[in-house]
Amino acid sequence: MEADGFVPSSTLESPAVERRVTGTIAATGFGILGNSVLDATGGFVGSFTPRMTGEPDFVSMLHRATPEPSASVEPEADYEGLPQGAASSTHMLAGAVAGIMEHCLMYPVDCVKTRMQSLHPEPGARYRNVMDALQQIVRTEGLWRPIRGVNVLAVGAGPAHALYFACYEKIKFSLSDAVHPGTNSHFANGVAGCAATVLHDAIMNPAEVVKQRMQMFNSPYRGVLDCMGSLLRQEGPAAFYRSYTTQLTMNVPFQALHFMTYEYLQELLNPHRQYNPSSHVVSGALAGALAAATTTPLDVCKTLLNTQEAQAVHVIPAGAATAAAASGPESRYISGLSEAFRTVYRTGGVPAFFKGVQARVIYQMPSTAISWSVYEFFKYVITKRQHEKRLRGDRDGDK
């Protein structure tokens, strides 16, 4: 497990330390242990930045010598985790950049998904498929209409994904080390994904409400601040979290399935757990597609709770409407997963729960591929920079 000529032999004398070494970052192929960077596989790691003049080559130092094959010692497959001594800020920064890029790049398709999940679309908002929807929106509403509201999502996605990935890394490493030291644990991956989702959705839910209100056809809001002010005046602060429990109900199984599928595919496509962009893209895309298709019915309910379509609200039975009028204006809104579920079913039956499934899968496949590949790339680059900074510090100390 040692990169020849790079990790002192004293570093790996303790079994506890050896266990930490085998639990280093998966896709980067190297981790930080104290202030040392070590190779986990002895394989090739690509470099995305040119070497500075006079600097030793980071990659060649990590892989200066290929380990001799041994019949008794097989290289262990490392997994992605937060190693001892690695700053959580590394994962938070990488996660924030990945989240912002993921949501901003795929925002036009997300806009189409929201419209295609409408239970009562207006004649001007009925589309055959994703491309037809984008063409109609641009032709009839302007070039910038598909990205209206992207600014509020970018503001929410940065801190939400920073906490999301940092929490996932920390819990997954700690739990995997407790359950199966030095190996990958699908149980730990699922639990870590669920815990990270709770933090992520607490920050993202208000941004989701605002952006979906602005994505709807003939949205009456002039901008993000106008939408937020209108929601506060007309529906109160509760409007920003009306779909929170539904979003958690959707995202907990989504993320559990997503992370377990991603880690499983990494074991198949990238068994040595090196930094391998193609494996991150393929694993992320397939994991996102499977999780998206499975949880589409819950996403339809979440969209209904966020947008509060006027015609869908009228589907509430007469008895419930009478009770709503008696109890106050707030009750006119659809609230809760069970009520949203009944409203969707009364509107279009079982097929209504899969409205926009094509757009959701088309959105999630590149979205999760972008998220994982950008996240792993920035982890690799940030850790590489930390190593180069340490080398310069060591040389300055020797002078």
* Alpha-helical regions (H) of 145-272: 150-179, 186-215, 224-234, 244-269
Per the confidence metrics, is the pTM higher than 0.85?
no
Question: Which burial class, exposed, middle or buried, applies to 48 when counting CB atoms under 10 A from its CB (0-12, 13-18, 19+)?
Answer: exposed
Q: Are 231 and 240 in contact (CB under 8 A)?
A: yes
Q: Return the domain boundaries, the chain.
A: 88-317+332-390
Encode 283-302: b = buried (16+ Cβ within 10 Å), e = exposed: bbbbbbbbbbeebbbbbbbb
Pairwise CA distance, residues 181 & 89, whole Å: 24
pLDDT, tens digit only, all 399 positions of the chain: 333 333 343 333 444 434 433 443 333 333 333 333 334 333 333 433 444 444 444 433 333 344 444 444 433 333 343 334 456 777 788 888 888 988 899 999 999 999 999 888 888 888 989 999 999 999 999 999 999 999 999 999 999 999 988 888 888 888 888 877 777 777 888 888 888 889 899 999 999 999 999 999 989 998 999 999 999 999 999 999 989 998 898 888 888 888 889 989 988 998 887 788 899 999 999 999 999 999 999 999 999 999 888 766 665 554 444 344 444 444 477 888 899 999 999 988 999 999 999 999 999 999 999 988 888 888 788 777 877 888 887 777 776
Cα–Cα nearest to 151, from 247, 217, 94, 228: 228
Pairwise CA distance, residues 277 & 376, whole Å: 8
Q: Find all residues with CB under 8 Å of 74, minimum gap 6, and list them.
A: none
Q: Are 304 and 338 in contact (CB under 8 A)?
A: no
Cα–Cα nearest to 188, from 311, 82, 300: 82
Cα–Cα nearest to 153, from 111, 95, 195: 111
3-state class of 69 per DSSP?
coil
Q: Find all residues with CB under 8 Å of 141, minimum gap 6, and list them.
A: none
Q: CATH says 88-317+332-390 is which class?
A: mainly alpha
User: Checking phi first, is residue 218 left (phi over 0); if not, alpha (psi -120 to 50) or beta?
Assistant: left
The two tokens of residue 55 are 């600097």
